[in-house]
């Protein structure tokens, strides 16, 4: 029986809340800034 190797992803993950129902995950601060420019009510969450 083969076992799956665990995927280790050390890249940063930032969550941006666009509105009260929509949360997206981005990998860079530049991507988060571009989403926040498009949606003025967006905010960074943990």
Distance CA 20, CA 8 (A): 30
Does the structure show a pLDDT above 90 at 8? no
Interatomic CA distance for residues 18 and 21, integer angstroms: 8
What kind and span of H or E run contains 16?
strand 14-17
Assigned domain for 7 exists: no
The total number of structural domains that make up the chain: 1
18 within a domain of the structure (yes/no): yes
10-34 tens-digit pLDDT: 888 999 999 999 999 999 999 999 9
Would the pLDDT of 46 be above 90?
no
Residue 1, pLDDT above cutoff 80? no
* pTM, rounded to two decimals: 0.71
Residue 6 lies in a domain: no
31 within domain boundaries: yes
Residue 3 placed within a domain? no
Residue 23 lies in a domain: yes
Residue ranges making up the domain that contains 37: 14-45
């Amino acid at each position: 029986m083969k076992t799956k190797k665990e995927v280790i992803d050390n890249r940063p993950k930032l969550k941006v809340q666009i509105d009260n129902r929509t949360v997206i995950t981005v990998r860079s601060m530049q991507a988060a800034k571009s989403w926040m420019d498009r949606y003025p009510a967006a905010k960074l969450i943990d």
